[in-house]
Amino acid sequence: MSATSHGGLLALVREHGGLSRQQMLDVTGMSRGTLVARLDALARLGYIYEAEALAPTGGRPARRVRFDDRGRVVLAVDLGQTHARVAVTDLAGRELRGSASDVQIADPGVLAAALDSGAALLAGGRGERLVGVGIGVPAAVDPASGTVVHPTTIPGWAPGAVRDAVRERWTVPLVVENDARAGAVGESRGPDETLVHVKLSMGIGCGIVVGGEVLRGAAGLAGDIGHVRVGPATGPLCRCGRRGCLAAYASGRALLERLGGSLGDLVAAQFDPTVAAALTEAADVLGTALATTVTTVNPHRLVLGGTLGPLPLVVERVRRQIHETVTERAWPVVEAGTSGATVTGLARLVVAAAYAPEAVDAAVAAAPRPP
């Protein structure tokens, strides 16, 4: 990518929140003819528009060229193991319309039903333009291909199931991401913050953001802490087939196997002595396991998300374990996550992918030439 490619110019416009042509000529050093041709191509494809006139400096008033985010939307689908949230957001990740439903992720119809909801939500907008689709799944995702790998939670899904199902409906850029990692992106306050986000729902997932980028790892497994063995090899059997995994002690599923009911029931009964004792025990195991992550990554914040992570008791116990096991200078702020972080994160990932300079250059190259 050169700074003056179509995508490079768009990045420049987005970064500055709008520039005049003269400013772009000054910054890039490119010829006026090339600049005009490239801006025309970007405007034709709806990436930019000419906005308000700048203060006149004599002669014809210059207009500011702006990034065209008007009416642009993202479809974000957050598929959890027992809960799905489908949302249409603006490019900042703010939810415009959404719907939630209880699901069983192993049910093969879940994906199609979620995409149907998404299509219905999109149809409810007026004058909108879909920029991309983001799907969060409770499984590891291969960063290069967007395929689901090691699907302990969704064994019936073909690796390319998500990608293929979306492709049948929409041709816009697609991001498939692990839900805990998408949540980490949604919680991130920017490139200056190192962040660890833990999703504690039916399973346990973790996303790490450093320098504004989420870590994916060599095989897409960065942050997949749920199946670290934390107990003896004779410990409780985990769904992955091994024994003593963190998830076998501290996940929502492990709690429900002992207590019965649903995650919602646990939240409703969080102050019941039996439930509180089980949550305390689970959070203590989780907090101890996270000490290694905290020491390795040294985050500013450790954010506890998902259905159970934000419960005050869980936050308090995890914080206490971190304080007991990690040197004080490395203590992060330990706090509850915000609801909707996964949807926001998916939207941010989609925007980053759809407006990446290489993606814009490719879109321009693929567009039909004007007559």
Stretch that binds Zn ion, among 16-24, 174-182, 226-234, 353-361 (CB under 5 A): 226-234
Least distance in angstroms from the C-beta of 227 to Zn ion = 4
Least distance in angstroms from the C-beta of 18 to Zn ion = 50
228 touches Zn ion (CB under 5 A)? no
Task: Report CA dihedral (355, 361, 366, 371) to the nearest 10 degrees.
Answer: 110
Number of H helices, E strands in the chain: 13, 14
238 touches Zn ion (CB under 5 A)? yes
Contacts with Zn ion by CB under 5 A: the residue count is: 5
Least distance in angstroms from the C-beta of 122 to Zn ion = 37
| C-beta of 48 vs 238, nearer to Zn ion | 238
| C-beta of 233 vs 366, nearer to Zn ion | 233
Q: Which amino acid is at 10?
A: L
204 touches Zn ion (CB under 5 A)? no
Least distance in angstroms from the C-beta of 342 to Zn ion = 22
| C-beta of 135 vs 204, nearer to Zn ion | 204
The token pair at 281 is 């025990």
Least distance in angstroms from the C-beta of 237 to Zn ion = 9
- Tell me which residue has tokens 């000419």: 50
d(CA 181, CA 206): 6
Least distance in angstroms from the C-beta of 228 to Zn ion = 8
Stretch that binds Zn ion, among 139-147, 231-239, 298-306, 342-350 (CB under 5 A): 231-239
Binding positions for Zn ion, 242-261, rule CB under 5 A: 242, 245
CB 356: neighbour CB atoms within 10 A?
16
Least distance in angstroms from the C-beta of 248 to Zn ion = 6
240 touches Zn ion (CB under 5 A)? yes
Least distance in angstroms from the C-beta of 247 to Zn ion = 5
d(CA 189, CA 203): 25
Short-list 43, 94, 148, CA closest to 370: 43
Stretch that binds Zn ion, among 38-46, 212-220, 224-232, 296-304 (CB under 5 A): 224-232
Stretch that binds Zn ion, among 141-149, 168-176, 237-245, 279-287 (CB under 5 A): 237-245
Q: Please spell the DSSP secondary structure of 342-366, one letter per residue.
A: HHHHHHHHHHHHHTSHHHHHHHHHH
d(CA 81, CA 151): 12
E strands, the chain, in order: 48-53, 63-67, 72-79, 83-89, 95-102, 129-137, 140-141, 148-149, 174-178, 195-200, 204-210, 213-214, 301-305, 333-336
| C-beta of 81 vs 188, nearer to Zn ion | 81
Helix, strand, coil % in the chain, rounded to nearest 5: 40, 20, 40
Positive or negative, the CA dihedral 355, 361, 363, 368 is: positive
| C-beta of 253 vs 319, nearer to Zn ion | 253
227 touches Zn ion (CB under 5 A)? yes
| C-beta of 248 vs 266, nearer to Zn ion | 248
3-state class of 122 per DSSP?
helix
Residues that bind Zn ion (CB under 5 A): 227, 238, 240, 242, 245
